């Protein structure tokens, strides 16, 4: 997955990869959406931690 430009500096990379944990293409296709969501959460956590943005703020 390509890291968005706005998060690239805080993430430190432009690409990230995660394994589906299988060689079976059908199982991998079933898992891909969950893995993409994990990667997006990882990018957002790194970005939020590197900015002054407060995740607990009611003004998000």
Q: What is the pLDDT at residue 26?
A: 94
Within 8 A by CB and 6+ apart from 14, the residues are 2, 3, 8
Is pTM beyond 0.75 here?
Answer: no
In a domain, 45, yes or no: yes
2-53 pLDDT tens trace:
888 877 777 777 888 888 899 999 999 999 999 999 988 888 888 777 776 6
pLDDT for res 47: 79
pLDDT for residue 6: 78
Number of domains in the chain: 1
Query: Which of 27, 24, 1 minimizes the C-alpha distance to 14?
Result: 1
Q: Is residue 60 part of a domain?
A: no
Report yes or no on 9 lying in a domain: yes
pLDDT of residue 23: 92
At residue 45, the pLDDT reads 85
- Distance (Å, whole) CA 60 – CA 3: 22
Q: Domain range holding 19? A: 5-49
């Amino acid at each position: 997955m390509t890291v968005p430009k706005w998060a690239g500096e805080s993430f430190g990379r432009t690409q990230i990869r995660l394994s589906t944990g299988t060689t079976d293409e059908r199982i991998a296709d079933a898992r891909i959406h969950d893995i993409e969501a994990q990667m997006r959460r990882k990018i957002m956590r790194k970005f939020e931690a590197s900015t002054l943005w407060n995740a607990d703020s009611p003004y998000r």
